[in-house]
Amino acid sequence: EGIQPQEYTLIKMKVVSPFTEKMRVLEGRRVFLAAATLRPETMFGQTNAWVLPEVKYGAFEINDIDVFILIYRAALNLSYQGFSRVPQKPTCLVGLTGHDLIGLPLMSPLTCNELIYALPMLTILTDKGTGIVTSVPSDAPDDYMALHDLKAKPALWAKYGVKNEWVLPFEIIPIIQIPGNGDKPAEKVCTDKKIKSQNEKERPAEAKRQTYLKGFNEGIMLVADFKDRKVQEVK
Ligand code: A2H
Task: Give 10-residue mean pLDDT values along the chain (235 residues).
Answer: 87 97 97 96 97 98 98 98 98 98 97 97 95 97 94 92 96 96 93 85 72 88 94 91
**Does ligand 1 come within 6 angstroms of the Cβ of 38?**
yes
Q: What is the 133 CA–ligand 1 centroid distance (Å)?
A: 7
Q: Residue 47, SS3?
A: coil
**Does ligand 1 come within 6 angstroms of the Cβ of 41?**
no
**Does ligand 1 come within 6 angstroms of the Cβ of 42?**
yes
- Give bridge partners of residue 49 from the DSSP assignment: 118, 134
The pLDDT score that the predictor gives to residue 169 is 96
Q: Residue 171, SS3?
A: coil
**Does ligand 1 come within 6 angstroms of the Cβ of 37?**
yes
Q: Please report the atom of ligand 1 found closest to the CA of residue 131.
A: 11
Q: Please report the atom of ligand 1 found closest to the CA of residue 127.
A: 11
Q: Whose CA is nearest to atom 33 of ligand 1?
A: 37
State the Cα–Cα distance between residues 188 and 183, nearest whole angstrom. 9
C-alpha distances (whole Å) from 234 to each of 39, 66, 134 are 10, 28, 19
* Amino acid identity, position 225: D
Q: What is the 104 CA–ligand 1 centroid distance (Å)?
A: 21
The pLDDT score that the predictor gives to residue 203 is 67
Q: What is the 34 CA–ligand 1 centroid distance (Å)?
A: 13
**Does ligand 1 come within 6 angstroms of the Cβ of 134?**
yes
Task: Please state the ipTM of this predicted complex.
Answer: 0.98
State the Cα–Cα distance between residues 102 and 119, nearest whole angstrom. 5
pTM higher than the cut 0.90: yes
**Does ligand 1 come within 6 angstroms of the Cβ of 48?**
no
Domains identified in the chain and CATH numbers: 9-234 (3.90.740.10)
Answer for the pair 182, 188: CB distance below 8 angstroms, yes or no: yes
State the Cα–Cα distance between residues 70 and 62, nearest whole angstrom. 11
Q: What is the 28 CA–ligand 1 centroid distance (Å)?
A: 31
**Does ligand 1 come within 6 angstroms of the Cβ of 212?**
yes
Among 124, 158, 128, which Cα is nearest to 143's? 124
